[in-house]
């Protein structure tokens, strides 16, 4: 897996070029990444977020 820092990349927004960092709210920015072996799912295929939270993978 490769993670690329694209903080300074420009996009077009309403005819203007703006950086992505200007368009994302501070509380939505990624602060930490943790790798896990598998994603717990229910029988219907939905992700079990409470199991991820209990293991500390999802805050």
Q: φ, ψ for residue 6 (rounded to 5)?
A: -115, 35
Q: Is residue 13 part of a domain?
A: no
Does the residue 17 lie in any domain?
no
Range(s) of the domain holding residue 43 = 31-59
pLDDT at 4 over 70: no
C-beta separation of 6 from 20 below 8 A: yes
Closest residue by Cα to residue 34 from 59, 54, 12, 10: 59
* Band of pLDDT at residue 2, cut at 50, 70 and 90: low
The answer to whether residue 35 is domain-embedded is: yes
- pTM greater than 0.75: no
Instruction: Determine which of 5-9, 25-29, 52-56 has the lowest per-residue pLDDT on average.
Output: 5-9
Residue 11: pLDDT band with limits 50, 70, 90: confident
Domains identified in the chain, total number: 1
| Domain annotation covers residue 18 | no
């Amino acid at each position: 897996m490769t993670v690329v820092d694209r903080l300074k990349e420009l996009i077009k927004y309403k005819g203007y070029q703006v950086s992505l960092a200007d368009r994302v709210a501070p509380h939505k920015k990624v602060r930490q990444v943790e790798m896990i072996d598998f994603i717990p799912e229910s029988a219907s295929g939905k992700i079990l977020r409470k199991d991820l939270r209990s293991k500390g993978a999802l805050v």
